[in-house]
Chain A
Amino acid sequence: VEAGHALPSPLGRITISSEAIARIVGETARECYGVVGMAGRKWLPDRATRGIEIGGNGDGVTIDLHVVVEYGLNLAEVASTIRNRVSYEVERLTGLSVRAVEVHIDDVRRSG
């Protein structure tokens, strides 16, 4: 398991695991308008962290997410909303600074 992301505090470091960050990213992404699913390692069941990679150390967290978006939406706007919300939620909930959020639209799907 990857080492945690450290947050300095007066009484010692707080570490937040990549898994915890990935959970927050997954929850947030699924609520973003246009996202109909998470892509990524196909043989993984649809766990909360599917399609999400957390990286970076020291100078900020980097987040890669792989999503499936509804066909017929403006992909650039959907991606921009995802990037803003994910970055905002992670910074707000963890106190870590987010250096980059890379949104990969792996597929589009026509639902219904």
Chain B
Amino acid sequence: MTGLNGDREAVERLVDAALASLEANRARIDDLNVYPVPDGDTGTNLTMTVRAVADAVDHTSAASRHSLARDVARGALMGARGNSGVIFSQIVRGAADVLGETNEPLIDADATARALRGASDAAYRAVRRPVEGTMLSVIRELAEEAEARAPGHPPIGELLLDLVRRGEDALARTPEQLQVLKDAGVVDAGGAGLVELVRGVAAAVTGEPIPEPQPIEEHLSHDAIHQELSKFRYCTVFLIEGEDLDRDALEGELEKLGDSLLVVGDPSAIKVHVHTDDPGAALSVGTKVGTIDRIEIANMHEQTQQREERLLSLVPDAAPAKSGVVAVVAGEGNRKLFESLAAQVGPISIVEGGQTMNPSTADLLRAVQSIDADEAIILPNNSNIVLAAEHAAANADRTVEVVPATSIPAGLAAMVAYDGSRTAAENAKEMREAIEAIATGEVTIASRDVQMNGIPITKGEWLGLAEGDPVAGGPDFDDVTYAVVERLLSEPRDLLTLLVGRDGAELQGVLDRIAKAHPDVEVDVQEGGQPHYHLLLSAE
């Protein structure tokens, strides 16, 4: 046979064979589970997912390959159970997308290779950081094997048997790729399921019987048990010997101490397995009723310590900062935004103030001297405060750079570029560039009648400014705001940030207009809480 028949009945037979092969190995695969996948039962989850695919094939009314492929992919998506099921559904989708494109009656080696490549690529692109030593590495190697064989146009049965061998080989190498598998002495459970599925398909095509399920391997490392998901630290195992031991009473005592409890045996000898934080208490339960023997206590958390250390090492110690920031900010929300941008990056001191409340040079100087860093950067965030900031810089006991941000959004853009491990001068350069790269705007209420840039502004009406210049005035908030937005988006921009003022603003109308006219621009609305300006805007 050179190819697989791709019609519904043939697909149904293949799926059923794959499912039978997986079902036969379900318990064995369940037992392969180890942390870090708290996916209690990979074999079961995967089996249920494949069953959903089989149901979809059974019930489809698809008349073409294309619609059959779509129904299969949909069945996998809807039926996906657990992490392994989700990965499998993506594998199915990738393969179905490729196979659904053609109506060639036979699926040959070449089409199989393309389908597996599609499956592998789809599986990989659905995760930010693919982890090797999982189902992903197995499907990738299957694709590579098929691609290597396809040019020789092997009969499909032969190709499938090669795929089973390559899958087994890839699976056997998963412990070398993922330390946690090696520690537990097991192979990846999801990968094992995938190999069984291919084995089932190969058996159906070649007419070979599906191999008997392999017994659970006795040499399965004891560590594998210890790595079950548990919030308790010690896996405690011991034997109690005595007379008339009451299994139920022991169980009742022990279950107060932890979880994963197993109490098995007869009245003369009972084996106990419990995960607990207090192994001593568990042992005492035994010594009260008999003698204890064959005690094993394992620290389950120790085995994963390496990974733990790696993760914790990602949390940096606060290195002494070379430079810190003094920012003049109005509004509780805006204060939090500045603080969150400085978090883990360097020290910040916020001075309350803005348009109507200008801090003095002395206020700024005090903030500069309070910064726990050799140098400082001042973000005045308002044109009226730049001069005071420069005076403070000239009189400070340390090197101070003023980055002349003249609005809150400009200051926030500058903060994104700030890094406390750099000097003030280095930061100032980066922060100025960040401000150059954005456009800012404001919406407020005019405080007097005035004619600006040829636009008549009436006291008490809305006034919109872009880059400091009035661009619109009038009684309608939406119209004025949208005029500012249009001006900010006159250059191509990706992101519009809106900071809502203390007095609030009804944004829905404006947001609808932006979504319609600029569907590609992302809009981020934040509670700024500033007085005076109902809305502050920036586009980048």
Contacts and interface: CB of A to CB of B under 8 A. Distances in A.
Q: Is A bound to B?
A: yes
Interface of A: 1, 19-20, 23-24, 27, 30-37, 41-45, 47-49, 70, 72-74, 77-78, 81, 84-85, 88-89, 91-93, 111-112
B201 to A, nearest CB: 23
Contact of A111 (B73, B126, B314, B340): B126
Given A27-B311, A73-B89, A112 B121 contact: yes
Contacts of B83: 32-33, 77, 81
Interface string B400-427: 0000000000001100100000000000
Contacts of A19: 315, 343-344
Contacts of B526: 41
B122 to A, nearest CB: 8
Contact of A74 (B86, B129, B522): B86
Interface in B16-54: 35-39
B93 A72 contact: yes
Contacts of A47: 344
A63 to B, nearest CB: 15
B81 A77 contact: yes
A109 to B, nearest CB: 10
B315 A88 contact: no
A31 B524 contact: no
Contacts of A41: 337, 340, 524, 526
B127 A33 contact: yes
A27 B304 CA distance: 16
Contacts of B431: none
Interface in B105-134: 121-122, 125-129, 131
26 contacts: A20-B315, A27-B311, A31-B127, A31-B128, A34-B86, A34-B126, A34-B127, A36-B127, A41-B526, A42-B497, A42-B522, A43-B497, A43-B540, A70-B126, A70-B127, A72-B77, A72-B126, A74-B80, A81-B86, A85-B37, A88-B38, A91-B231, A92-B231, A92-B308, A93-B308, A112-B125
Contacts of B129: 30-31
A43 B311 contact: no
Given A34-B126, A43-B412, A85 B36 contact: yes
Given A42-B495, A43-B413, A93-B311, A77 B86 contact: yes
Contacts of A44: 340-341, 416
Nearest to B83: A81
A81 B522 contact: no
Contacts of B148: none
B127 A49 contact: no
A23 B315 contact: yes
